[in-house]
């Protein structure tokens, strides 16, 4: 009787959650696993977020909230863009969503017709392609070059634009690469979008997490006319260590907000008021909160990067500039043999072997469109990262 519709049956399971489940199963058997699979901050949200949530519960806010978000939150988000990026953002430019993920999902259903094309520089986050394909969009992946530090290849993007191309997706700082898009490239991509009549969807969910004095240039702040074709997606998930609260947003022209809001009115009815209040609290946190969060990620980045440098067969590439991922190449290990004599064939094989033999969980790069790499998330305790690096080192030394 049950027949899963082909549009859903075709969706692959999210590799990140699948790996996390495997790591948890091994732990349940008593194995000591360092789980570097899921990109989930381990810190505490700002105290102001938790206090605001408690107050909301005490006030008894249990009813539906406005579908597009409570006015206080839409204003707090708009004010953040005015303050940080000098953009004349208004609450009507903001839609509150269930995580950044839903903002992107809304956009894929709202902006494109079946058969339209979207360009995505790869490696890229795992959910863009399934979300767009669900909307009948044809995704053209445009590989970024390792040799260029995985910065998007503007010439290749330009060459990939065709009559059906409607948009370019960007993600900076990037998951899985940790790359912060160079300002000149962002300008060049914006010029390309202007010339070819394309939208830019800029996923800036790691925008606050950059290192060594680097800044992510907000795509909507490039120029007055960039605002007409650019949509920014963000969330409290990473910036305020609130991934489980499920609160994100988009900043977009008003017509897009109105259309996505109509969609949400039939799909989710918006986000729980207690969560929205917590987000207002989070956004009121001072710069010290973010500074100490970023500083702790920077120390962990260095612990993992340094621990995994100088190994035969594993090339960590450039030191990540933002987000909390390391995406080393491991194709130098392909063909090497495990203790039992079996060869490591590909990134999946490497990730499986690391989990089995070293108790370190990482995600094979295929999930992000780059089968030469694996992804480690370093949003975890720094001593556990050092342990992970030692174990990977020992495991590599055991290969033949």
Binding site for ligand PLP (CB under 6 A): 39, 99-101, 125, 171, 175, 203, 205, 235, 237, 243, 248
Q: What are phi and psi of 376, to 5 degrees?
A: -105, 135
* Least distance (Å) between residue 381 CB and ligand PLP: 19
Q: Are 209 and 173 in contact (CB under 8 A)?
A: yes
- Using CB atoms, what's the residue nearest to ligand PLP? 99
- Shortest distance (Å) from residue 226 CB to ligand PLP: 20
Tokens for 127, please give them: 């959910």
Comparison of 126 and 333: residue with beta carbon closer to ligand PLP: 126
Question: Are 39 and 379 a contacting pair, CB within 8 Å?
Answer: yes
Q: Least Å distance between CB 268 and ligand PLP?
A: 13
Give whichever of 99 and 273 is closer to ligand PLP, judged by the CB atom. 99
- The C-alpha R_g of the chain, in whole angstroms, comes to 21
Torsion, Cα 141 104 197 155, to 10 degrees, reads -30
Residue 98 beta carbon to ligand PLP: minimum distance, rounded to whole angstroms? 7
Contact (CB, 8 A) for 250 and 94: yes
Question: How would DSSP label each residue in 309-329?
Answer: TTBTTBB--SPP-BTTEE--B
Closest by alpha carbon to 373, among 296, 295, 316, 312? 316
Closer CB to ligand PLP, 250 or 333, in the complex: 250
**124 vs 396, which CB is nearer to ligand PLP?**
124
Residue written as token pair 């579908």? 67
CB of 207 to ligand PLP, least distance (A): 11
- Nearer of residues 322 and 328 to ligand PLP, judged by Cβ: 322
Of 35 and 203, CB closest to ligand PLP: 203
d(CA 358, CA 394): 8
Decide whether 137 or 358 has the Cβ nearer to ligand PLP: 137
The CA-atom distances, in angstroms, between 381 and each of 25, 360, 377, 390, 391 are: 20, 14, 11, 15, 15
Nearer to ligand PLP, 215 or 345 (CB): 215
CB of 209 to ligand PLP, least distance (A): 11
Rounded to the nearest 10 degrees, how much is the dihedral formed by the CA atoms of 69, 72, 74, 76? -150
User: Least distance (Å) from ligand PLP to the CB of residue 203?
Assistant: 5
In the complex, the smallest distance separating the C-beta of residue 315 from ligand PLP, rounded to whole angstroms, is 23
Between 33 and 179, CB nearer to ligand PLP: 179
H helices of the chain, in order, are: 6-9, 15-28, 47-59, 71-85, 99-111, 128-134, 154-160, 183-196, 226-229, 254-267, 273-283, 287-307, 347-353, 382-397
CB of 101 to ligand PLP, least distance (A): 3
Q: Is 345 helix (H, G, I), strand (E, B) or coil?
A: coil
Q: How far is the CB of 290 from ligand PLP (least distance, A)?
A: 17
Backbone angles phi, psi at 25, to 5 degrees: -65, -40
Burial of 339 (0-12, 13-18, 19+ CB in 10 A): exposed
**Which is nearer to ligand PLP, 104 or 154 (by Cβ)?**
104
CA neighbor of 316 nearest in space, from 324, 327, 325: 327
């Amino acid at each position: 009787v049950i027949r899963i519709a082909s549009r859903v049956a075709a969706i692959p399971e999210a590799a990140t959650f699948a790996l996390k489940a495997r790591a948890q199963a091994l732990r349940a058997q008593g194995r000591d696993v360092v789980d570097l699979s899921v990109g989930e901050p381990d810190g505490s949200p700002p105290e102001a977020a938790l206090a605001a949530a408690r107050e909301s519960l005490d006030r008894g806010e249990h009813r539906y909230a406005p579908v597009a978000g409570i006015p206080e939150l839409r204003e707090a988000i708009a004010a953040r863009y005015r303050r940080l990026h000098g953009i004349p953002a208004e609450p009507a430019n903001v839609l509150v969503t269930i995580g950044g993920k839903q903002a992107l999902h809304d956009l894929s259903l709202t902006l494109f017709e079946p058969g339209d094309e979207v360009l995505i520089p790869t490696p890229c986050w795992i959910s863009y392609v399934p979300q767009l394909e669900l909307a009948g969009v044809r995704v053209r992946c445009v590989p970024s070059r390792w040799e260029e530090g995985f910065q998007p290849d503007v010439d290749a993007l330009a060459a990939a634009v065709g009559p059906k191309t409607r948009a370019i997706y960007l993600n900076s700082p990037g998951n899985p690469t940790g790359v912060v898009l160079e300002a000149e490239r962002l300008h060049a991509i914006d010029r390309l979008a202007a010339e070819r009549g394309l939208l830019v969807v800029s996923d800036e969910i790691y925008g606050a997490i950059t290192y060594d004095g680097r800044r992510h240039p907000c795509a909507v702040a490039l120029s007055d006319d960039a605002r007409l074709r650019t949509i920014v997606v963000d969330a409290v998930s990473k910036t305020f260590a609130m991934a489980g609260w499920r609160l994100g947003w988009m900043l977009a022209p008003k017509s897009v907000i109105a259309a996505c809001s109509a969609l949400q009115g039939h799909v989710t009815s918006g986000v729980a008021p207690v969560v929205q209040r917590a987000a207002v609290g989070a956004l009121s946190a001072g710069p010290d909160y973010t500074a100490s969060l970023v500083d702790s990620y920077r120390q962990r980045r260095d612990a993992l990067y340094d621990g995994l440098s100088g190994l035969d067969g594993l090339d960590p590439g450039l030191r990540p500039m933002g987000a909390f991922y390391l995406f080393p190449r491991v194709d130098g290990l392909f063909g090497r043999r495990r203790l039992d004599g079996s060869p490591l064939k590909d990134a999946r094989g490497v990730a499986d072997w690391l989990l089995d033999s070293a108790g370190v969980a990482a995600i094979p790069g295929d999930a992000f469109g780059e089968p030469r790499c694996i992804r480690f998330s370093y949003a975890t305790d720094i001593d556990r990262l050092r342990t992970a690096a030692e174990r990977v080192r020992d495991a590599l030394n055991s290969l033949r």
